[in-house]
Chain A
Amino acid sequence: MNALSTVLSGKKGGLRVGYVLVGVLLLLALFGAWVAPYDATLVNLDDRLLPASTSHWLGTDHLGRDVLSRLIVGTQLSLGSVVLVLALVLILGVTIGGVAGIVGGKVDMFLMRLCDMFLTFPTLVLAFFLIALLGTGLTNVIIAIALSHWAWYARMVRGMVLAQRNRDYVLASRLAGASRLTRLRQHVMPNVVGQLLVLASMDIGHMMLHVSGLSFLGLGVSPPTPEWGVMINDSKEFIWTHPQLLLWPGLMIFISVMAFNLLGDALRDRLDPSVLAEIKE
C-alpha cells in the first residue's frame, strides 16, 4: 500500500520502482539459470498441471515443467532479444538519420525516401513479410523487427539533428571557432542522444510485445526453449481449465513493459536539464 501510494503520488517513488524492477529483471536475465529451482526444460509427465505448492511455487505446465523456473530462465531470451533489437534499431537509425541531417541535400532526399518506403507498411505486416523472406527463428525475428522499426528512429534523429543544428548555441560555438566535427560532438549529438535514449527506453516495452507476439505466433523462439511469448502460446489450450499458465508469463511481460516505461520517465527527468535544475535545488 505504501509503495503503491508513492508510485501514484510522487514522481520519485515511481522512479525508484522503475530502477528496482529493471535491476531485478537484469539480474534474472544474467543469473537466471542459477537462480531457477528446477531445470526449465525438464519434462516430467507425472507432475503435469500441478497447482501452486511449496515445491512448485507457481505450479507446473502441461508437460510437468516448473513454471517459475521457466519464467526466470525465459527472462534472458525475452529481454536479450529486445536489447539486440534496440541496439540494431539505434545503430541503423542514428547512422542513417544522422547522415541525412548532417549532410543534407540529395543524400538526405534519398535516405528519407528510403525511410518513407519502410514507413508505408504497418510494422507488423513488414515484420511478417521479412520473416517470410528470411525464415523463422529468433535471429530472423530480431532482424525483421529491427528492419521494420529503424525508419521511425532515422526520421526522429534527422529531425533532432536539424533542430539542434540551428540552435543559437551551435552558432555561438561556431563563432567561438569550433570546427564542424567539434560542434557535432559537443553540442548536437549529446542533445540528440539524450532525447533518443528516453524514446528508446519508452519503446522497449513496445518491442518486447513485438518479440513475444511473434513468438506467440510460432515465428520466433521454438517451443522447448523457455520464452514468455512461447509459454503463452504453449498454454493457450488450457485457458479455461488452467488460466494461471497464461497469467504468469503475461504478468511478467506486463511488469517489464511497465518497468521500462518508468525507467524512460526517469531518464527523461535526468536528461532534461530544466527538470535537472529543479531536482538539484
Chain B
Amino acid sequence: MSLIQVRNVSHGYTAGGLFSKRHRIQVLSTLDLDLHEGQSLGLLGGSGSGKSTLARLLMGLETPDKGRITFNGQTLQGLDPQFLQRVQMVFQDALSAFNPQRTIGWSIAEPLRHLSNMPSDACKARVEQLLVNVKLLASDHDKLPSQLSGGQLQRAGIARAMAVNPQLIILDEALSNLDRVLQVQILDLLTDVRRESGTGFLLITHDLSLVQRFCQRVVVLAEGSLVEDREVTPRMRFEHPAARTLQEAVLPAMPKARQLQKAVLSV
C-alpha cells in the first residue's frame, strides 16, 4: 500500500523580471513516484535536478502545475493538520531551522502543541524522551540553539520531526552539512527508529554511499524525471549516464595505488 502517490506531476517556476525577459524554467516533467509505508527511499540527483522542488511538493508547500499527488488516496490540499501529523520534514541547515530566541525544548515541542492535544507536562516528558532517543541529553531541553553544535542541532531537528510519530519523515539534504562520522551516527539512529516505530523515510541527497547504507530503494532524478528506480543492493549498477556520474563520485573505502605507479615501483 503506497503512502504517497505522485502521478504525472509537472512543475516549474517563472524567472526573470525587470531587466531580463520572463521565461519559464521547467523543473519537473511528468514524474511518477510511489512511496510505500515504512520504507526508506533514497532520492538521488545532482545539483539543480529538482530534488528540493519535489520535496516541497510532497510536503504540500507548493501545489504542482500539472498532475496529482495523493496521500493515502486523498489529493493533497495545502497543509492540513491531519496530513502534518503523518508527514514531517528535517531541514538542510539545522542552525537556521531553529528560532535563535527559543530553547531547543520549546522548538521540539512545537508540533506537539499544534498537532496534538497533549498537556504541557506530558509534552515536556515527551520532548525529554525524544532528546534521549536522538542521543542528546534531557538537560539540553533548556539550551538555546547557539549553545549546541551543528550535529547536535541536526539531531534536535530529527527529534522535532519525530515528535508527533509521523509515518514519513522527509530528510531534505539533512545530512549534507555534516561530516562522515555524524552522518553514519544519525543514519544508524534513524535505522533504529524505523525498526522500532515503522516510520518511513525519504532521504534526499546527492551522496550514493548514504543511500546504500540506509535505504531499501533508490530513485535517481535527472532533468526533471526519474531515470532509475531499483532496489538497493551492495553490487547494484546504474545505467543512466547521470546516475553513473553520481555513482562514480563515491570514493572507495580504501584508496588504491594506480596501476602505473605500481609498475614503476616494481621495476
User: Given the known A-B contacts A182-B114, A276-B146, are A175 and B79 also in contact in the complex, defined by CB atoms under 8 Å?
Assistant: yes
Q: Which of B94-102, B130-138, B255-263 contacts A (4 or more CB under 8 A)?
A: B94-102
Cβ of A178 and Cβ of B144 under 8 Å apart? no
Select one of B88, B98, B114, B147 contacting A277, CB under 8 A: B147
Interface check A187, CB cutoff 8 A: yes
Cβ of A177 and Cβ of B146 under 8 Å apart? no
Complex Cα–Cα for A178 and B99 (A): 14
A-B contact count (CB 8 A): 67
User: Given the known A-B contacts A191-B101, A273-B144, are A168 and B93 also in contact in the complex, defined by CB atoms under 8 Å?
Assistant: yes
Cβ of B91 and Cβ of A178 under 8 Å apart? no
Which bracket fits the contact residues of B? Answer: 20 to 34
From B107, B144, B146, name the one whose CB has the most chain A CB atoms within 10 angstroms. Answer: B146
Residues on B with C-beta less than 8 A from A274 are: 100, 146
From B79, B102, B110, name the one whose CB has the most chain A CB atoms within 10 angstroms. Answer: B110
Select one of B107, B110, B113, B147 contacting A280, CB under 8 A: B147
Interface check B81, CB cutoff 8 A: yes
Binary interface encoding of chain A residues 266-281 relative to chain B, with 1 for a CB under 8 A from any of its CBs, else 0: 0000000110110011
Cβ of A176 and Cβ of B111 under 8 Å apart? yes
Interface check A172, CB cutoff 8 A: yes
From A175, A182, A276, A277, name the one whose CB has the most chain B CB atoms within 10 angstroms. Answer: A175
Residues on A with C-beta less than 8 A from B111 are: 175-177
Interface check B160, CB cutoff 8 A: yes
Cβ of A176 and Cβ of B84 under 8 Å apart? yes
Residues on B with C-beta less than 8 A from A187 are: 99
Complex Cα–Cα for A186 and B114 (A): 13
Cβ of B88 and Cβ of A175 under 8 Å apart? yes
Residues on A with C-beta less than 8 A from B100 are: 191, 273-274
Select one of A167, A173, A178, A190 contacting B96, CB under 8 A: A167
Select one of B98, B114, B146, B160 contacting A178, CB under 8 A: B114
Complex Cα–Cα for A191 and B102 (A): 10
Complex Cα–Cα for A273 and B143 (A): 11
Select one of A171, A173, A182, A190 contacting B101, CB under 8 A: A190
Of residues 190 to 210 in B, which have CB atoms within 8 Å of A's CB atoms? none
Interface check A174, CB cutoff 8 A: yes
Complex Cα–Cα for A177 and B89 (A): 12
> For residue A280, which residue of chain B has the nearest CB?
B147
**Whole-angstrom distance from the CB of B160 to the nearest CB of chain A?**
7
User: Given the known A-B contacts A174-B79, A177-B84, A274-B146, are A169 and B99 also in contact in the complex, defined by CB atoms under 8 Å?
Assistant: yes
Cβ of A178 and Cβ of B147 under 8 Å apart? no
Cβ of B146 and Cβ of A277 under 8 Å apart? yes
Residues on B with C-beta less than 8 A from A176 are: 84, 110-111, 113-115, 160
Q: Which 10 A-B pairs have the closest CB atoms?
A: A177-B114, A176-B111, A273-B100, A277-B146, A176-B110, A168-B97, A177-B115, A168-B96, A169-B99, A277-B147
18 sample A-B contacts, Cβ–Cβ < 8 Å, listed by A number: A168-B93, A168-B97, A169-B98, A169-B99, A171-B91, A172-B97, A175-B59, A175-B79, A175-B89, A176-B114, A176-B160, A177-B115, A178-B114, A186-B99, A186-B102, A274-B100, A276-B144, A281-B147
| Sample of 16 further A-B pairs with CB below 8 A, known A176-B110, A276-B146 | A169-B96, A169-B99, A171-B91, A172-B110, A174-B79, A175-B59, A175-B89, A177-B114, A177-B115, A182-B114, A186-B102, A191-B100, A194-B101, A273-B101, A273-B145, A274-B146
